[in-house]
Chain A
Amino acid sequence: RKEVEQDPGPFNVPEGATVAFNCTYSNSASQSFFWYRQDCRKEPKLLMSVYSSGNEDGRFTAQLNRASQYISLLIRDSKLSDSATYLCVVNDNNYGQNFVFGPGTRLSVLP
């Protein structure tokens, strides 16, 4: 069983749509959770950390459900510029060393 799982997509949505991605992780002792976005042929960029109480940054909302071991990312009012691969990342180590990546979910926002 993979440690971090995501639906690879692609998710093709029209501009202005709301889209949600889920991610599940297998290690119940995981401590920290993140969403990164990666554009084609570029490096991953931190989108947001995911906190236990959930957190929002503009059009993006992240939620963590420790009991069910999943993380979600909601994007509202999708823009063309949101087209990218979204990577779910889980840190299994208290001291910041073992970042485990999901396979990524590809999003295409269509005009």
Chain B
Amino acid sequence: DTEVTQTPKHLVMGMTNKKSLKCEQHMGHRAMYWYKQKAKKPPELMFVYSYEKLSINESVPSRFSPECPNSSLLNLHLHALQPEDSALYLCASSQVSGYGDEQYFGPGTRLTVT
């Protein structure tokens, strides 16, 4: 089973709202990732958690706040977003074995900020 699930599939939020994106995997992977993808561009890394600890933060604005409650779950808390934050938000997971670890993506949450 190489499934990563994400909820919700679609989200529309105003600039003053607070919302959360959720991601779950049951593959026993110990690294989980958040990516942002704009149309016709590749995924852009935001955060990496390894063994439930934040290991990479790609200078993401503080209006995005990640959380990894346990090894299977990853959340992205959103607050005071801007219209330019509208994008597809992808979660992914991988093993952390040292070589050849393959990354598996969830279907994404399509976010629109109004």
Contact = CB atoms under 8 A, between A and B. Distances in A.
Interface stretch (B12-20, B61-69, B76-84, B90-98): B90-98
A26 interface: no
A49 B41 CA distance: 21
Contacts of B108: 42-43
B43 A46 contact: no
Nearest to B4: A43
Interface residues of A, number: 23
A107 interface: no
Interface string A41-59: 1111110010000000000
A49 B56 contact: no
Interface stretch (A14-22, A66-74, A94-102): A94-102
B102 A101 contact: no
Contacts of A31: 99-100
A89 B103 contact: yes
A110 to B, nearest CB: 20
Contact of B106 (A43, A46, A89): A43
Nearest to A102: B42
10 contacts: A95-B50, A95-B97, A96-B50, A97-B31, A97-B50, A97-B55, A97-B56, A101-B42, A103-B42, A104-B42
